Chains A and B, each alone.
Chain A
C-alpha cells in the first residue's frame, strides 16, 4: 500500500499530526489528498492503549482546535492543588504549592476518552485509522531513507506457523513516516539504532506509572481536586511520587510514578503502589470505595538532553518516543500534541515543495526550537537528572535550576540509563524486602489488577517478549540480580517457576499491558518487546 504520510500510533501526538495535516490540506488544496494519509494503531480501538493520570495543559489543544472546551471530553477543570509529603503514618501538606504543580487553568482528563474523541475527529476528515494494526519493522529504501513500515502478520500460532486465517503483514510505503508510538516505541527504538539518532543524546530515562481508577462513596472527593504526594513509601534515593485526581461521577484517578532507575533489583513498583494506598490518608479516602480499572505505562522522563534527533530521511519522531515530556510538571499530553502539529507542518511543507529529503524534514527541529515547547523543555532540561542521587539532592538541584532558568549546577547533568543502576545482590543486604499482602479490597495482587486492565491477547500467537538468551535468566541473572523482571513487570508476565528441578523463567505474555518496562529495565538488555498481533493488549476504557 502506498501513502503520502503514514503515522504510526493513534495517541495524542499521532492524532494531532493527522488533524493538523487535514487542516493544512483543506487550507491549501492540491498538496495532499487525505485519502493518502494513514494512521496505524495497534490497539483494538483508538484509546485502548492510552493511559495517563492526567492533568492536561490545554495550551496545545487550544492551538489545534480552538473552542475545544465545548466538545472535548474533559472531565473537570482543576479546582484545587495540593502537594503532600508522606511519612509512614502521617502526611505534611506543603504550605505553598511549588509553581510547577500549579494547575489552575488545566483540566483533568482521561487520555483514553480524549484519544477516542480525537480519533473520531480524524476519521471525520477522511483519514483512515487502521486499528488492530501494529508496525513491526521499519522499511528503508536503497538510499537508507525510511520508506515506510511493515505491518504485523496475523494468524500465526505460537510456533510461528500459519493458522487457517493467516494473513501476512503488508509493506506500507509512504513519502514520510511519522513515528508516534508513545513511550519506548519499538519502531522508534529500531530507527534510532539503525540511524544513530540518539548518538548525541543522553540515554533516555523512564519512570513507570501504575494507576487505578476507583469509584468512591458520594461526596468523598471533589471533582477537579488535584493532589500529589512525595516521600513514603519511596526511599530517599528513589525518584517518584503519587497522584490523586478527583473526577466526576464519584470517580478518582490515583497512582504512583516510580523512576526506573532504582538501585534495588528486588524493588517492585506495583507493590510500592499497593503499599502507598495503605497510608492512612489514602486508606481513609478509599474506604468503602471500589477499584474498577487498572493500568500501567512507562513515561519518557529524560527531558531535553535525552531527546533523539527528531528526523531523518523519510521520517519524523514525535510525542513520548521523541521525549516530549515535561517531567517537572508531570505533563506530556500538551507537548505530544504540539510535537504532532509541528511535525504535520514540516511534512505538509515538504510535500508542498515536493521535497521530502532529510534536510527538508530537519526543518522540524527549527520549528521546535522556535516554539514554546522548546522554551518549556529547555527550562526543565536537567530536572530528572537532578535526582540522580536522591530526593534531598534533587530538591536542592531542582530548586537551583528553577532560579537559573534550568541550568542548575551544571550545563548538562549526566544521566545513566536506568537498567545500569542496579546493585548486585551480593553487594546488598540479604533477603527479600517485605511485600504487601493484598487484602482484595484496598490492595490487590498483580493478577487481579491485570484482570481490571482488560488485557487480552489471542493465546495462540508467537510470544511478543523476546528473551534473547534464557540461559542468562536461569543461570546468571538469578544469582546476580534475582530476576528483577518478576518484580518490575506490573502485569505478572514474568515468573520464575520450578521446572525440571530448578527455577526457570516462564512467561505469561497474554497479561502484558504494553508498558515497556521490561524492554527498559532488564539488566542485560536481553528482552525486546515487540508488538503482539494487532488488537491485543489492555483496554483502558475511561482510564
Chain B
C-alpha cells in the first residue's frame, strides 16, 4: 500500500540476511510510533520461496533473472520501478556492504537523499528524526528529511534485534520489472575468501581486545579461543602491537582504529585514555582486569576484577553452550 515503510530484504545464496531482519524490526518500531504499515521487498532471481519466509505481513518479490548475481545497476533499476509502483513513504535498508554499493544510487535516481547507518530514531513533532554517528562514533547527529517522500535510510548492524520480530506468514506478491542486459554494466565474479591482509575492525560486530595483562605472546591463544567462540575479531592495545605480537592494523585507540562494535571484551587492558577513545562508544563493553582501579572499568557495562587466565577458559565454555 502507498505511504508504507518498505523494508528492503537482502538475500545471499538462498538465505535471508540477518541484518535485513533487524531492519524489519526497526521498521516495525517506527511504523508503530508513526502509524504506518510495514511491508518488505526482496529482489533476486528464484526467490519467491524465500520471500515467504520474511516475517512481514506483506512481501513483494521482485523477480528477474538479471538480478542474480547482485549488481548495483540491476538492483537500482529494479527497486526504482518497484518504488515508483508501490509509492512508499520510507524505504529502509540494512547497512550492508551491498546496500552501501547501491542505495545512494537508487535514491539519487529519484533525486532523493539517503541517511545511512542509523543507530536509532526519535519522533519530534510527528516527524521522523534519525540518529547516526559522525567522526567514527565520537559524535552523534540527528537528521531529518526535507522535501517529498519516498525517503531513504539504512540501519546499522545490531542497532535493533531481529528476535523481537513476531513470526508472521506474509502475503507474497510478485513484482515484475523491466531490465535489459545492456543496462547491467558490471560483471561480477564469484565471491571468494582470503586471509585478509588488512583488517577492517570498524566492521566487526564483536571484538576481543588484549592488553598488557596477557603477559606473553603465547597467551594470545587464550584470547584466540574466545574469538572463535564468539566469532569475534581480535584486537589489541598499543603495547601489544608495539611488541609485534599482533599486526598494527589490530590496534585500537587514538593511534589505531576507532570502533563501536556491538560487543567489546577488554582482556587485561588498563584503559589509558588513548585506548578508551578508540572503543568507548561500543554498545556493550566487558572488562576483565586484575586491578579494580583500572580506568577501563569506567566505561565497562560489565566488569570482572580478576585474573583473565582464570576467567577466560570457563567463559569460552559457557559461550559455546549458548551458541549451540
Contacts and interface: CB of A to CB of B under 8 A. Distances in A.
Contact between chain A and chain B defined by CB under 8 Å: yes
B186 interface: no
Interface in B237-263: 238-239, 241-242, 248, 251, 254-255
B255 A456 contact: yes
Interface string B201-244: 00000000000000000000000000000000000001101100
B248 A460 contact: yes
B255 A459 contact: yes
Contacts of A443: none
Most buried by A among B251, B274, B277: B274
Contacts of B251: 459
Contacts of A447: 272-274
Contacts of B255: 456-457, 459, 510
B241 A451 contact: no
Nearest to A457: B255
Contacts of B273: 447-448, 451
A447 B251 CA distance: 17
B242 A459 contact: yes
Contacts of A440: 295
Interface in A436-451: 440, 447-448, 450-451
Given A447-B273, A459-B238, A460-B248, 17 more contacts: A447-B272, A447-B274, A448-B272, A448-B273, A450-B274, A451-B254, A451-B272, A451-B273, A451-B274, A456-B254, A456-B255, A459-B241, A459-B242, A459-B248, A459-B251, A508-B239, A510-B255
A450 B272 CA distance: 11
A263 to B, nearest CB: 31
Contacts of A508: 239, 242
A12 to B, nearest CB: 29
Interface of B: 238-239, 241-242, 248, 251, 254-255, 272-274, 277, 295
Interface string A168-207: 0000000000000000000000000000000000000000
A451 B277 contact: yes
A447 B269 CA distance: 14
Interface of A: 440, 447-448, 450-451, 456-457, 459-460, 508, 510
* Pairs A-B, 8 closest by C-beta atoms: A451-B273, A447-B272, A448-B273, A451-B274, A459-B248, A456-B255, A460-B248, A459-B255
B87 to A, nearest CB: 51
B86 to A, nearest CB: 51
A460 B241 CA distance: 10
- Interface of B, helix, strand, loop or mixed by DSSP: helix
Nearest to A510: B255
Nearest to A456: B255
Contacts of B242: 459, 508
A500 to B, nearest CB: 11
B284 to A, nearest CB: 23
Contacts of A450: 274
A448 B277 CA distance: 11
A383 B90 CA distance: 75
Nearest to A507: B242
Most buried by A among B239, B241, B251, B272: B272
Contacts of B277: 451
Nearest to B272: A447
Nearest to A458: B255
A451 B274 CA distance: 6
A510 B274 CA distance: 12
Contacts of B274: 447, 450-451
11 contacts: A440-B295, A450-B274, A451-B254, A451-B277, A456-B254, A459-B238, A459-B242, A459-B248, A459-B251, A459-B255, A508-B239
A460 B248 CA distance: 8
A457 B238 CA distance: 12
Contacts of A510: 238, 255
Contacts of B238: 459, 510
A145 B284 CA distance: 64
B226 to A, nearest CB: 25
A508 B295 CA distance: 20
Contacts of B272: 447-448, 451
A91 B287 CA distance: 44
A440 B274 CA distance: 14
A447 B254 CA distance: 12
Nearest to B253: A451
B24 to A, nearest CB: 41
A459 B248 CA distance: 8
Contacts of A451: 254, 272-274, 277
B301 to A, nearest CB: 20
A227 to B, nearest CB: 29
Contacts of A457: 255
Most buried by B among A440, A451, A457, A508: A451
Nearest to B247: A460
A459 B242 CA distance: 7
Contacts of A448: 272-273
Contacts of B254: 451, 456
Nearest to B254: A451
B46 to A, nearest CB: 45
A109 to B, nearest CB: 28
Contacts of B295: 440
A440 B239 CA distance: 22
B10 to A, nearest CB: 36
B135 to A, nearest CB: 15
A439 to B, nearest CB: 12
A50 to B, nearest CB: 22
A448 B295 CA distance: 11
Nearest to A447: B272
A456 B272 CA distance: 15
A508 B238 CA distance: 10
Contacts of B248: 459-460
A448 B273 CA distance: 6
A490 to B, nearest CB: 16
A451 B239 CA distance: 15
B293 to A, nearest CB: 10
Most buried by A among B251, B255, B295: B255
A508 B272 CA distance: 14
A124 B81 CA distance: 56
A447 B239 CA distance: 13
B198 to A, nearest CB: 13
Contacts of B239: 508
B82 to A, nearest CB: 46
Contacts of A459: 238, 241-242, 248, 251, 255
A456 B242 CA distance: 14
Nearest to B244: A158
A510 B242 CA distance: 10
Contacts of A460: 248
Nearest to B242: A459
A440 B251 CA distance: 24
Nearest to B215: A498
A448 B274 CA distance: 7
B252 to A, nearest CB: 13
A440 B272 CA distance: 11
A315 to B, nearest CB: 36
